[in-house]
Structure 1
Amino acid sequence: MGDLHLPPAATSTAPVPAVVTVHGSGPMSGEYARNWEDMGSRLAAVGIAVFGYDKPGCGESGGDWTRLTFADRAAETVAAVTAVAAQPEIDGERIGLLGGSQGGWIAPLAANIDSRIRTIITFSGPGVSVAESEEYQIGAEGAAEGYTSEEIADALALYRRVLSRLRAGDAAAAILTDEIHLVGTRAAELAEVTSVKELEFFAGIADFDPVPALEKLTCPILAIFGSDDVLVPTEASVAAYEAAFARSGHRDHEIVVFPGADHGLRVPDPATGRPRRAPGFFELITARLVRTLR
């Protein structure tokens, strides 16, 4: 299930290209993705449809997203591509993916499965493993949110213990029982060691490495990052993307880092001090999609 936003001129005799939004982590519906910063209207204005689907267990979709591996999520994305390509107003040979955060890991996997996917745009999509990205987040986000150096060190130590035991095959419930004295502390909160369900989900994705999928990629890709992202290691991710494309010989790629931007590609508004999307962000996305899908 999901939400399809069509340009007014789209008809079965004049089908238009479409982008499928690939969700980040957590529960998300298609309506949220389609309406994100009015993305549907922005792209409809240049003749591109937007399809946002409900993650399993969200909106009107059945299932449970916390039980999915990244391979499952890639298959889910391909299913969304199939669904939107079947609509009479859509040109099924001109489909793109727009993946944010965790969706930046998923989009290349899906594109390597389905040749109908003509282009990818990722924003704040890590170029490193899930485990490495999580460790970076503990340190960077902890510092940004005012955790003490001791609290950050405790959180990192807890995270590494838990990760080691998950890799060894220990049950999440047993791990949480052994660390119960820390549950509810700031260290556990920062390390996101809070429930059996979360640990079980993390165990299934922790060692996912995005590099092989990037090396196999053949379609055009635009990867966007913020220099001040505290959830994703921008410098390491850019280096990983560049190295992967150098090894594979991939040509049609662009990597853009917005100075001062955070994980959501926001910067402080100089007039109000409140966060706003980095100037040029939407224009960059629109121009890229027009070039690669029109």
Structure 2
Amino acid sequence: MSRRRRLTLVALGTVVALVLGVAVWILIAKDYAFHEERVTIPGPRGELHGVLAIPSDDGPHGLVVFVHDDGPADADDDGHYRPLWDAFAQAGFASLSWDKPGVADAPGDWLDQTMHDRATEVDSVIAWAHTRDDIDTTQVGAWGIGQAGWVLPEVAQARPDLRFMIAVDPAIDWLRREQYAARAEAVADGDSPEDVAAAVDRRARRTALIRRNADYRAYLDSHVDEDPMPAARWAFVKRNANSDSTAALKTIPVPTLLLLGGRDRGVDVAETERVYRRQVQPDLLTVKDFPDGTHRLTRNDIEYRGGDIRTLGRSILAPKTIYVPHYLDTLRVFAKRQTE
């Protein structure tokens, strides 16, 4: 065999090995221990369109109810929840999430909700879970991110059957969070100190408008935002701007796992940790910091590079790998401990 032919065969073998390796990696990264069922749930303002992710083994199973962050999220959050559902399935828990009102043909409008409305919605979902024979309603927990920080404490107080809650980068005070985000985003964008100060000043002036209950015309006339939010968003912000979870955290009666991403640009996680440690009963609180985690607890090179084709491909082909190391294991271990 000629040297050229040998080199060609070696190169071909290398390519085949790489392709097979990638294929196996993708199969493992998308191998889930649950199956999905579309469900319709009676809600306080109309039906909710949900997805119940049920472990593949025999039940009944415990249940983790998912509470979305801000924005128009569908039931699986564009696929981002599936790795989390898999982690809970490995711990013996089903997961339940639903389209926000007005998203993916669901009735209603999520911008017409208060945080209390959202807590009432979660209450209805847990009540519905009691009608399912495949759910062990003595083992019901809740997972939530960001804006869920104003929802979960109310749910924990209202539902005596809630066994635990998991809060991912929850905010404390709505308007302080807005101020923090303005600075963090400007700094992350590499703005000059003068531009950072200008961004913070614009957000402060917007906060002042909200505090005095300015109408939408006054907001537009102020020119505090170069790209003004729609009228419905302005109404939503004003409706919820007084949200502050500080007092409610003192009354949380269940084991609580607080997960914090050190590179979060939207929530001041240092403030969140400080307030949770001060307010929540120490014997009920577990805190886990992920210094390199983003708001979603993805790797820092994933969440903030959404337009990158490599990032998009990884999110689609290997969604488990987008999260910061040990996050999914932390969910699994904590949920499993609640059953012991």
Please report the TM-score for the alignment, with normalisation by the length of structure 1. 0.86
Q: How does 1:50-129 map to 2 (within 5 A)?
A: 50-126=95-171, 128-129=172-173
Corresponding residue of 1:195: 230
267, 286, 293: which is aligned to 1:232? 267
Q: Does the 8 Å CA contact 1:5/1:34 hold for their aligned counterparts?
A: no
Once residues 268 and 29 of structure 1 are traced to their aligned partners in structure 2, the CA distance between those partners, rounded to angstroms, is 23
Moved over 3 A (4+): 273-276
Q: Secondary structure at the match of 2:151?
A: helix
Moved more, 33-42 or 138-147: 33-42
* 2:332 partner amino acid: T
Shift of 1:227: 1.4
Tell me how far 1:258 sits from its aligned partner. Answer: 0.9
Give matches, 1:1-294, under 5 Å: 1-10=49-58, 14-32=59-77, 36-126=81-171, 128-176=172-220, 178-180=221-223, 183=225, 185=226, 189=227, 193-245=228-280, 249-267=281-299, 276-293=322-339
After superposition, the C-alpha distances for 1:22-69 in whole angstroms (9 at most, x for unaligned) are 000001111337752422233223321011111111124211111111
The 8 Å contact of residues 249 and 279 in structure 2, kept in 1 or not, is answered as: yes
Q: Distance in 2 between matches of 1:71 and 1:179?
A: 30
What letter corresponds to residue 198 of structure 2 in structure 1? D
Query: Do the aligned residues in 1 keep the contact of 2:63 with 2:141 (CA within 8 Å)?
Result: yes
Shift of residue 16 of structure 1? 1.2
Asked whether the equivalents of residues 34 and 50 of structure 1 are also in contact (C-alpha less than 8 Å), the reply is no
Question: 2:185 and 2:80 mapped to 1: Cα distance?
Answer: 27
Structure 2 distance, partners of 1:231, 1:33, is 20
Q: 2:129 & 2:75 partners in 1: Cα distance? A: 13
Q: Could you tell me how far apart the structure 2 residues matched to 1:256 and 1:42 are?
A: 17
- Tell me the CA shift for residue 228 of structure 1: 1.7
Q: How big is the shift at 1:179?
A: 2.1
How far apart in 1 are the matches of 2:98 and 2:78? Answer: 8
Matched residue SS, 1:98: strand
Rounded Cα–Cα distance in structure 2 between residues aligned with 1:268 and 1:174: 38
Judge conservation of contact 2:143–2:165 (CA < 8 Å) in 1: yes
Is 80-89 or 37-46 further displaced after alignment?
Answer: 37-46
Q: CA deviation at 1:158?
A: 2.2
Return closer, same or farther for 1:2/1:33 CA change in 2, 3 Å cut-off.
farther
Partner secondary structure for residue 56 of structure 1: coil
Partner AA of 1:286 in structure 2: R
For the residues of structure 2 that align with 1:73 and 1:101, how far apart are their CA atoms? 13
Q: CA deviation at 1:261?
A: 1.7
TM-fit CA distance, 1:284:
0.7
Distance in structure 2 (CA, Å) of the matches to 1:168 and 1:48: 45
Q: Which amino acid aligns with 2:269?
A: T
Structure label with greater radius of gyration: 2
Q: Report the AA paired with residue 77 of structure 1.
A: V
Aligned 8 A contact 1:34 1:40 in 2: no
Identity across matched positions, percent = 25
**1:228-268 Cα deviation digits (max 9, x unpaired):** 211111111110111112xxx45221011112222121235
What is the CA–CA distance in structure 1 between the aligned matches of 2:217 and 2:124, rounded to whole Å? 33
How far does the alpha carbon of each residue in 1:88-130 deviate from its partner, in whole angstroms, 9 at most, with x for none?
100122111010111233112211111111100111112x201
* Alignment partners' CA distance in 2, 1:33 and 1:53: 12
CA separation of 1:34/1:113 partners in 2, compared to 1, >3 Å: closer, same or farther? farther
* Distance in 1 separating the partners of 2:116 and 2:300: 36
The whole-number CA distance in structure 2 between the counterparts of 1:34 and 1:20 is 16
